[in-house]
Structure 1
């Protein structure tokens, strides 16, 4: 029987991308603990790297399958939405009970509740779920396109062409048109995220097949592009480029700008090469320490629930008035929140797996319980 940590046999699994996905998740949690300026700016590649790693893992699981669009969406969308809606129900209800018992006004407005369930930034955390939902819709198309082109170089070129069209032609057209409010919402919350992150997902699909020449081209191209746009920003900011970036970081990220995407690709590729070097040189050591390997795979494969639980613990961490200032240190918060979210997810999976195996209710509703708690 396979360990609950590793969840499935890993004979053909490339743990390098689990490492990248786990690092990306931990960096996202770090971002929410109010780290220093320099750390907060450096880690801005976290979401792009998670998307790239997810693209590779999707390709690993689907490259030898005939992925039907509707069948894929029928399975994938509930796996994303059902746990999120269940968690938000629990999260908002627990906040209401806590505020009621402590005789404080309810923390969340009706608009925050509605926008939270609609993944429209109601609580400032769920936008990333919207990104992965959008990616899920286009993932089968990207796979079909990759297979049709039959070559990672041609596929990368098409992805680049799509992104250039999006950046140079589509965005100016969309922002010049006078469109109703509901279409403005579609443009700003959906389309502007769909193309950039889908291109990153597609890039991730090519990584395991990518030759050194193409990898060098992407790495050098993203570096040159990032430096070029940094130079443009420097002309606006003068000598305070670092402060300029920090003060405009949300404008770069929401929606993702070209400099944000280039930085994400650059840092993700560098970290991919670094992780590959470590894996190639210390693979035997990692294979002999299965606990480390299984923990990495668990964090990667359980990233949704770890992310959701970190929202809960972070909310209540900030509600407490601490006697000791050390409890407000970002490293203390990060380590504590990451541990609590991971441990809670592990206990959740152990408990639900046990219910499914030993309880009649669990056996009768195993599929529903797996979608809600085990993905």
Structure 2
């Protein structure tokens, strides 16, 4: 059962990754709306994996150094490659794409950077909050009370975001505005999605079904308030995450988990799914690099390749292939440095996670 569960988590994480890549190739509107559960699904799966591992580490300096390095080291390594490459492209083409403003905002995962890095920021914020969530999880034994507590926090968050957005409130202090808009309004909803996943693996089937039905009813309710129908522009409620978008992401995530956990199905392509799941960070980063090159060379791309599905396949396959070759190459390299612990760790953290 444990092996099946882990395979299912790999598949769920891979579905989330593919959904994110699909969003960046300009699919038809209905596809764009339906796949918008991708990031919540990946955060939800992170919560499940954290819960299964029974991670009891405290919020120590060592804990945070390990977690943050696993996210920031590959990202900053990628950005070094990215900026070096496009700096050369700028020289050759006489463009002015690379600026100090672009570099600084990218390094700090802020808006105004190269784009697409806000997902890394989400996982960074969730990593910071995960020990606190685990602390609450360990002390609230009753499942109903635990999920009721999460529900109340979500309602409070939705009230605050709806009030701010509905009234177009702007904070006068620029630092406070950045903290609220770029960090607070992301750490709260995504941490609570993480918290939902954290305990779900120990719930009996009937309680998971009840949890799904609750999200379904909530989704229909908020859709009647916010939009004309349940498949309206869900994606418009994404920045920052609002009730319509967040509940949709939770609902689909729980449904997929329920289906894979209790559905009588045999998972195929285990090795491929495991590779994409365990390499999702670098596949995602390389797809950004490929996407930027694609957009720079639009005029030289054949018409058939401009189809969103062809573009999606090309980006996914090439990003996966580059990641595979990268891992193979660096695994071969670090075999020579196993006795040099520092070099071994640097290569592992920067290129193999």
In 2, Cα distance between equivalents of 1:184 and 1:131: 18
Structure 1 length normalisation: TM-score? 0.86
Q: Tell me if structure 2 keeps the 8 A contact 1:193–1:255.
A: yes
User: Shift of the alpha carbon at 1:24?
Assistant: 0.3
2:170 is equivalent to residue 180 of structure 1: no
Change (3 A) 1:216 1:50: same
Match of 1:282 in 2: 266
Closer/same/farther in 2, CA of residues 297 and 153 from structure 1, 3 Å limit: farther
* 2:65 matched residue in structure 1: 74
Q: 1:164 to 1:229 in 2, by over 3 A?
A: closer
- In structure 1, the gaps of 5 or more residues are 1-9, 287-291
CA RMSD of aligned residues (A): 2.5
2:147 alignment partner, one of 126, 151, 156 = 156
Secondary structure of 1:146's aligned partner: helix
Change (3 A) 1:48 1:137: same
Alignment map for 1:1-375 (pairs within 5 Å): 14-61=6-53, 63=54, 65-101=56-92, 103-121=93-111, 122-168=113-159, 172=163, 179-234=172-227, 245-246=232-233, 249-250=235-236, 252-278=237-263, 280-282=264-266, 286=268, 292-320=269-297, 321-322=299-300, 324-359=302-337, 364-375=342-353
SS at match of 1:125: coil
User: Cα gap change, 1:302/1:360 in structure 2, threshold over 3 Å: closer, same or farther?
Assistant: closer
Give the deviation of 1:211 after TM superposition: 2.1
- The Cα of 1:233 is off from its aligned counterpart by 3.0
Q: Is contact 1:146-1:152 (8 Å) kept? A: no
TM-score, normalised relative to structure 2: 0.91
Equivalent pairs counted in the alignment come to 348
Change (3 A) 1:335 1:362: farther
Cα distance in 1 between the residues matched to 2:27 and 2:121: 25
| Distance in 1 of aligned mates of 2:49 and 2:190 | 15
Instruction: Decide whether the 8 Å contact of 1:233 with 1:241 is kept in 2.
Output: no
Q: Note the C-alpha offset of 1:364.
A: 4.9
Change in 2 beyond 3 A, CA 1:151/1:303: farther
Structure 1 residue 164: Cα displacement: 1.9
Q: SS of the residue aligned with 1:210?
A: coil
Q: Take 1:170 and 1:339, find their aligned partners in 2: how far apart are those partners?
A: 38
Cα offset for 1:163? 1.7
